[in-house]
Structures are given as structure tokens and as C-alpha cells.
Amino acid sequence: MRILFTLLLLSGVLSSSAQCIDTLNFVDPAPACFLEFRPLCGCDGNTYRNECYAEAATLLRWVDGPYEQVAFEFRPNPVIDFLNTTIVTKFEANVNIYIFDKNGTIKYAQRLNAVTWYYLTIPMNTFDPGVYVMLVESNGVTKVSKFVKWNT
């Protein structure tokens, strides 16, 4: 009886994880998806940019919000006037945003309190042309991405 129970338990676990991905469809490596940043936590433990990208990966289930503690994106890159930034956290949390120049000097810093989703427009008119690094930190998790400041 114990062996039968163990087999049934294992088959239930295996079948529930197998239902995460639609094995009858092929993953689309270059989906024609819109760019909106609405991160989703896929049943496979990955963060997807939006529902279209999750469907292109043949996922069957996902929930709103990133898999990680914090996710962010910015546009445009390269930037001329304004850097439009979206920050999403898994749970309500404080977020620190920093922008560093090529010498490691902090050119911009802001703290956001009790954030789950935040849209921010950063004026770039005081930034010299060059490569910059944006660092976003929340609850000890740090994400980093580069962008280019361009002059017209």
C-alpha cells in the first residue's frame, strides 16, 4: 500500500510539472509581440516580458509580476532627452535606483517606498554623451543594465 501511495504521489507531482509547458507546440524564438513591459512569472520559474512572450514560450500558466524580487526596463536606448523607466517588484518593497557614469560616479539616485509597480521619467538633459549603468536594488536583490546617452 505504501509503495502504491508513493507511486501515485510521484505521478501527481510529475504530471503537474509536465502541465507547465504545452509540449504539442513549438517555442517561437522570435515572436511578434508588443513591447509593453508587464512582467509575468511563468510556471517554469522564469520572468517573461508580457503575456505574448509567455505564450510564445508555450507556457500554460503564469501569474502577474516578476519571478525575481525586482525587474525593470527602460526606453529608449540610446536616449536623448528622457529615459522612461518601469520598475516592478514581486512584493511591495522599497526600491533604490542609481545611475552611474563610466567613472562610477553617481549621476542620479532615488528611493521609492512601498513599490509594486512604478513608472518613472528621468530627464537626461544634464547627462554628457556616453555609456551609463542603471542599478536597481530591492530587498538585497540588485539588477543592472547599461544604456547610452546620445546628443542630437
Could you read off the pLDDT tens digit of each residue along the chain, which spans 152 residues? 555 544 444 444 444 455 899 989 899 888 899 888 899 999 999 999 999 999 999 999 999 988 899 999 999 999 999 999 999 999 999 999 999 999 999 999 999 999 999 999 999 999 999 999 999 999 999 999 999 999 87
Question: Do 132 and 150 contact (CB within 8 A), yes or no?
Answer: no
Beta strands of 4-150 (E only): which ranges?
A: 40-42, 47-48, 62-64, 70-75, 82-100, 106-123, 130-138, 141-149
The pTM score is: 0.74
Predicted confidence at residue 108, as pLDDT, reads: 98
Task: Report whether the peptide linkage leading into residue 129 is cis, meaning its omega lies within 30 degrees of zero.
Answer: no
- Give the list of residues 6+ apart from residue 108 with CB closer than 8 angstroms, or none: 97, 98, 99, 122
112, amino acid identity: L
Q: How far is the C-alpha of 49 from the C-alpha of 7, rounded, in Å?
A: 37
Question: Do 40 and 67 contact (CB within 8 A), yes or no?
Answer: no
- Give the list of residues 6+ apart from residue 82 with CB closer than 8 angstroms, or none: 121, 122, 123, 124
Q: How far is the C-alpha of 31 from the C-alpha of 54, rounded, in Å?
A: 10
CATH class for the domain made up of 69-149: mainly beta
Question: Do 86 and 98 contact (CB within 8 A), yes or no?
Answer: no
Predicted confidence at residue 30, as pLDDT, reads: 87
Domain boundaries, the chain: 37-67, 69-149
Q: How far is the C-alpha of 100 from the C-alpha of 124, rounded, in Å?
A: 13
Predicted confidence at residue 14, as pLDDT, reads: 44
